[in-house]
Structure 1
């Protein structure tokens, strides 16, 4: 055994000689960002060797200066003796304090109110079939000695008009003591189903005014929950954090691969349930003095992989042709089945998926966007870790998934990071000096750049002539911010380390730009092919709804200029926030909306882009700034002087 001391965390752990440093950190519950899940392709898991020797190799991700300072990749390093390791604060903190879309209260309210209005306009009722009723049952005597549960059933039959009751063993275990705490005066929470009720909870005394539900969006990168008062239908509180599964890979493919390893599926399930959602629930309960047993309804939305891992279901066939998901519709679930800190008998509903790569987050998003009731042609784009697109109206809905990867969340970009404090979210470059003006989340010193900032940056680099339309840096520029590394890869320096007291410069290089161009090209070409499959083009679009992590700070003009979005009238673009969470909320407060959500799952037609004849040609054409065919961007053509 050898000892690894993580000096940055004041933690020691013993491991076997030859173990990978990344695995050792995971065992020590130390978060190290590893979007590629340890296959040495992203270079994000840089740590610093302070003391001792390791078995490692220098890769192109590590500059000579960094190598001389002791930087190594945790995924490419084996421990061979006692060592001291320093994990940069950027790596260990990037999962926490994330800026969640829609966190602005005013915009938040606008997004939720807009979705509720759509529901109202379609004559959906804001009612659930969950009821809470205070009852006073007869105390037992020698002459009236029926069982405790029969006593409750008799009251329900005689006073509430239901023929029978159903209940779980968990509830039955509570009954004998709870009914006697206040002389057989209790409050029951139950689901109405015609002439039958299912009791979810029983409490001593009168607690009729306390009834809650929870809506959850399980994203690949982040998880957001909202606690809802089921009486008033108002959101009591919200909470969010990074998805702890991030440590096993930034995208669904890496996580699916990890799930096939020994204990991999169990670890992924525990990461989202025990390390992410339950702590969020506990924090929100504490802030609002809520008893978990009063949380009796739950709606969860996530992509097909996330919901499968949430339920601990094997996922490997999702990524293998012909890409078959383990399930699309929600199985019958209660709180105990999912191990969340809610009532054990709570009703749990999973938003239905459409296909392997179009999941419940999209069906919930379509519900909240109102495409299913719109007479106009709507293009819905979810810009998250995965790129999903829906096009249609009340008569039809088509969908596809784009292989955009995690670039919009900062993945695949050397200086990229998720939207947390210190992330550059806006960039302006002076055309004469090439000096950037940076806006960061939290107004603190920059430590990296997030998705919205990358879009701004590439746009500015194109407009100021730093890069050409291929994304290549011009070799003839004489400026201290333009450098070429030992691999002759061009870089632009966003922030010199001396400016902000950083360990190293914040730069973006040609490989980063190429990765982002491919990501934006996947979105644009996916939308183009989806609409083309119906014999139409972008001119038929009446509205474009933008959802997902970077939408709130997305500059529409810049996004069109780089070819991420189509060049149509700007007023057609509307940001609709975290549409997955909003859709889950609607299904939580309205049984009509929940029914519609189930219908949406079966009404959307899925187009598999990988086998669509023209997709690859469209994708290659879109891997240019803004596009190889500049005529598709008439308002941008003049800006670029063409």
Structure 2
């Protein structure tokens, strides 16, 4: 056995000699962002060896200067002696402090109100089916000595007219003492049906009918957001967000599915999403709102199809294998206690139904909140995240596809890319002298670049003449911000390490630009293929709704200029926030909305792009700035001509 100490965490563990260093980091309980899940391709698991015998195979992601300073890739290294290893600051910032839509700003409140209005305008009601009732039971006597549960049933039948009353073991266990401590004056929380039956899911002392809470959760591949809701009036009481702890097992769903098939990988991924992500978020919410977990009696969550499987701990490997079959799209009733979610144990867990293998419940929820299902306009809905999902349609039809965009929109596969968290550059401008100005999330020193910042940066580099339309950096520019390595690969320095006291320069390389061009091309070609399936083109689009975390600082004009979005009237393009979380909120508040959500999931026609012959041709054509056919982007062509 050898000992490894990890700084700045001051955490020490013992592992077997020859242990993979990345696995040692995970065993130490330290979060490390590993988009490629240890294959050595992303270069994100860089660590610095302070002392000790650690053997590394080397990597193209480690520069000669970094190598001299003791940097290695943890995934490509083994530990042969006691050692001290330093983990860079960017890894500790990736998990927490993420910039997630939370309905707190004026724009977000408008988005929130708009989604509520869509439900009401369609004739649906906010009609939650969970009820609270205050009961005063007759105390038992020698002459009236029936069991506590029968006594409760008798009063419920007499006062509330339910013939059949049921409860779970959790309620039975708390019943004897609670009844007597409350002097038989209690509040029950129950879920009735239309057939005279009700199920008790909580019991409290005294009159607590004024307090009824639910939780909505968006389980993203990269980030998770949760909000606590007053089910009486729909008020958002508290919210919290963080990175998805599963990121340490890979940035995308394919890497995570593959990890889930190894040993106890499925259990680790399930533990990461519930115990390391959702429950800590709930604890933060409870602390902020000063309520107890037992008071939360409704739970609605949405995620893509893979996230839904991993959330339940269900084997997901067949999702990635042709013919791409999920184990489920809709789940039966599950109690919170079965998943060990920190709410009332009897709380029913509603997981929003998926559509297909790569269009999940997050898209069903997003379509619900967008209102496109009730519109006579042709609406294009795009969710920009780790995966790119697209829905087109109106009240008459809905058609969807999923693009293999990869993790680039979330900073994955980008050398200095990072999540939209503290220290991430989110907006960029470049002047005529090739010098940048930028804004950083949290107004801190720049640690890396998030998705919206990368879009701005690539667009600005193209119009400043730093890169050509293939994404290649122009040589012989009169600036020290452009340089080329020993392999001839160019890079642009956004922030010099000396200026900001960083461990390394914040740069974007030609390889990064190429990776991002492929990601944006996947979105554009997905849109084109979807419309072609309907014998339509961009002129048929009346409105484009952009959803997802990247939209917080997304520059629509720049997104068009690089060829990610079609070149249409930009007044038609609207950001609608975290539509998945909003859809979960609507489902939490309204049984009508829940029924509509299930109709939506059942009615969406799914197009599998991997079997669409034209998709690859469209993709290859879109791997250019903005496109190989510049005439498809007339306004961009005009801007490029005027900038020459």
Q: Is 1:528 aligned with 2:528?
A: yes
Instruction: Give 1:32 deviation, angstroms.
Output: 1.6
Which residues in structure 2 correspond to 1:398-547 (within 5 Å)?
398-431=399-432, 433-547=433-547
* Separation (CA, whole Å) in 1 of partners of 2:184 and 2:152: 10
CA contact (8 A) 2:217 2:302 kept: yes
* Separation (CA, whole Å) in 1 of partners of 2:40 and 2:430: 32
Q: Could you list the runs of 5+ residues in structure 1 that have no partner in the other structure?
A: none
Residue equivalent to 2:176: 176
Instruction: Give 1:101 deviation, angstroms.
Output: 2.6
* Separation (CA, whole Å) in 2 of partners of 1:59 and 1:486: 14
Q: Is 1:598 aligned with 2:598?
A: yes
SS in 2 for 1:627: coil
Instruction: Give 1:495 deviation, angstroms.
Output: 0.9
Of residues 449-458 and 333-342 in structure 1, the stretch that sits farther from structure 2 once superposed is 333-342
Instruction: Give 1:12 deviation, angstroms.
Output: 1.1
Q: Is 1:256 aligned with 2:260?
A: no
CA deviation map 1:379-410 (0-9, x unaligned): 00000111000000000000000000111111
Instruction: Give 1:334 deviation, angstroms.
Output: 1.4
CA deviation map 1:241-298 (0-9, x unaligned): 1111111111111111111111111111111111111111111112212121111111
SS in 2 for 1:35: coil
CA deviation map 1:195-223 (0-9, x unaligned): 11111111121111111000000001111
Instruction: Give 1:514 deviation, angstroms.
Output: 0.3
Which residues in structure 2 correspond to 1:99-498 (within 5 Å)?
99-102=99-102, 104-194=104-194, 195-431=196-432, 433-498=433-498
Q: Is 1:565 aligned with 2:580?
A: no
Instruction: Give 1:137 deviation, angstroms.
Output: 1.1
SS in 2 for 1:186: strand
* Separation (CA, whole Å) in 2 of partners of 1:182 and 1:445: 56
SS in 1 for 2:95: coil
CA deviation map 1:574-614 (0-9, x unaligned): 11100000000000000000111111110000000010120
- TM-score normalised by structure 1 residue count: 0.99
Instruction: Give 1:104 deviation, angstroms.
Output: 4.5
CA contact (8 A) 2:103 2:109 kept: no
SS in 2 for 1:602: helix
* Separation (CA, whole Å) in 1 of partners of 2:389 and 2:171: 41
Instruction: Give 1:162 deviation, angstroms.
Output: 1.1
* Separation (CA, whole Å) in 1 of partners of 2:9 and 2:552: 34
Instruction: Give 1:63 deviation, angstroms.
Output: 0.6
CA contact (8 A) 1:299 1:349 kept: yes
SS in 2 for 1:228: strand
CA contact (8 A) 2:93 2:422 kept: no
CA contact (8 A) 2:102 2:239 kept: no
Q: Is 1:556 aligned with 2:562?
A: no
CA contact (8 A) 2:389 2:400 kept: yes
CA contact (8 A) 2:379 2:394 kept: yes
CA deviation map 1:339-380 (0-9, x unaligned): 111111112101000011100000000000011111000000
SS in 1 for 2:544: strand
* Separation (CA, whole Å) in 2 of partners of 1:421 and 1:552: 14
Which residues in structure 2 correspond to 1:30-109 (within 5 Å)?
30-102=30-102, 104-109=104-109
CA contact (8 A) 1:133 1:189 kept: yes
Residue equivalent to 2:11: 11
CA deviation map 1:300-324 (0-9, x unaligned): 0001111111111111111111111
- TM-score normalised by structure 2 residue count: 0.98
CA contact (8 A) 2:222 2:247 kept: yes
CA deviation map 1:545-586 (0-9, x unaligned): 000011121111100000000000011011110000000000
Of residues 454-463 and 160-169 in structure 1, the stretch that sits farther from structure 2 once superposed is 160-169
Q: Is 1:613 aligned with 2:644?
A: no
Instruction: Give 1:103 deviation, angstroms.
Output: 5.5
Instruction: Give 1:478 deviation, angstroms.
Output: 3.2
Residue equivalent to 1:22: 22
CA contact (8 A) 2:168 2:346 kept: yes
Say how many residue pairs are matched. 641
SS in 1 for 2:613: coil
* Separation (CA, whole Å) in 2 of partners of 1:323 and 1:300: 23
* Separation (CA, whole Å) in 1 of partners of 2:111 and 2:127: 20
* Separation (CA, whole Å) in 1 of partners of 2:70 and 2:104: 41
CA deviation map 1:391-442 (0-9, x unaligned): 00000000000000111111110010011111111111112x1011111111
* Separation (CA, whole Å) in 2 of partners of 1:438 and 1:633: 27
Residue equivalent to 1:580: 580
Instruction: Give 1:108 deviation, angstroms.
Output: 2.0
SS in 1 for 2:639: coil
SS in 1 for 2:337: helix
Q: Could you list the runs of 5+ residues in structure 2 that have no partner in the other structure?
A: none
* Separation (CA, whole Å) in 1 of partners of 2:173 and 2:92: 43
CA contact (8 A) 1:101 1:550 kept: no
Instruction: Give 1:476 deviation, angstroms.
Output: 3.1
CA contact (8 A) 1:526 1:609 kept: yes
Q: Is 1:638 aligned with 2:609?
A: no
* Separation (CA, whole Å) in 1 of partners of 2:102 and 2:348: 27
Instruction: Give 1:459 deviation, angstroms.
Output: 0.2
